[in-house]
Amino acid sequence: MSLESPGLTAERLAAKLRDWPRRQVQLAELQELLTDAEPALAHSTGRRPRLAEVLDELARAGVVEYPSDRSFDHSAQPALPKFVRVQGRAAGPSRVSGATIAWRPELAWAAEMTLDRETLDELQAVNGFIRDGGAERPIVPMRERSLQLFGNEKRLDMLRSGQLFQPGRLTLQQLRCEEVHPPFVYRTIGRGADVLVIENHHTFVSFVNTLATDGDVGTVIYGAGAHFKASVTFLADLATAPRRVLYFGDLDIDGLEIPNHANQVAVEAGLPEVEPATALYRLLLERGTPASAPSAPAASRVSRAAGWLHESIRHEVSELLLGGLRVAQEWVGTEALQELAREPSAFA
């Protein structure tokens, strides 16, 4: 599986695929492998195009094989395969009836399944954990238990969305572990029940230093760009549950897709919706000077992203993005904030 003149990331990813236990590798697994190969991409908005670039290189070199066009994810650009097949590997593991294994009562449901060898090995590891007193073990972060059980700290992340965790089967409680929310940096500035998320750290500092301490916003959060899509669930770990979650970031396609995605995650987790801080976006449109964006996004992508904004500014922002322009959040800094009313409605 050698590559001709490989990029460093492609070379690292190829090495990981050589040891992959299955011929087929899912998109979520490819994204994890890419981040392992190039850690700087963990919170980068360029991770998707970088993965497309690396996969194309691996496909040209014969390392992986793409599925048909029907099996591509078109939810964002560029489109990515939902899975790839590692070339030169056996077609797939044989399957075994779960009825041939002596399962603990908690895993009795496994006797009714037909399992591939990898899944069987994973369930047997869980079986041994329960048999050896796992119920008495302390509850630990999920990746610690995943490493102990499977030798792969990220394997439980992948398994949780599959058949083993369907209702009536495995639970994190049985494995004595829990999901840990990626933390974000935040400052408490007052007793207000609302939180305000700021995408970039320079603007975060301006807001912390400038906002009134007696307003509705009592906590200012540094979203750290795309990191907030994962760390939004850390809202559940705040000492006081927020009444509202307001977001303010760059007016570009990535800056709008971040809160869109974070809002979906928050709602699914039973947290407040992530809402646009409309007055701040309006101020940004008034004060900011548009600059050229790397490229003009597709109209369908703009429509989805701008749909999160309040209708009063949605059209203007859409036209801006479709014209290949962006406005940096930093136009609303300390001096602009000093002129903005600090009433509870100022950011809605």
CA 310 to chain centre: 24
Q: CA-based angle 151:152:157, to the nearest 5?
A: 140
Contact 90, 118 (CB under 8 A): no
Whether residue 237 is contained in a domain is answered as: yes
- Same domain, residue pair 195 and 69: no
193 and 229: one domain?
Answer: yes
Beta strand pairing call for 245-248 and 177-178: unpaired
Tell me, yes or no, whether 82 and 133 share the same domain.
no
Q: Mean of the per-residue pLDDT values for the chain?
A: 86
Written as six digits, the tokens of 127 are: 């079986």
Please indicate, yes or no, whether residues 210 and 327 belong to a single structural domain of this protein. yes
Cα(298)–Cα(77) distance, integer angstroms: 9
| CA atoms within a 13 Å half-sphere pointing along the CA-CB vector of 183 | 5
Q: What per-residue confidence (pLDDT) applies to 91?
A: 47
pLDDT tens figures, 235-248? 998 988 899 999 99
- What CATH number does residue 307 fall under? 3.40.50
- Run of H or E residues at 283: helix 278-287
Q: What is the reported pTM?
A: 0.61
Domain limits for position 65: 8-86
Q: How confident is the model at residue 250 (pLDDT cuts 50, 70, 90)?
A: very high
Total domain count, the chain = 3
Q: What is the pLDDT of residues 254-272, one digit of tens each?
A: 999 999 999 988 998 889 9
Q: Helices (H), strands (E): how many in the chain? A: 13, 16
Is 67 within a domain? Answer: yes
pLDDT at 62: 82
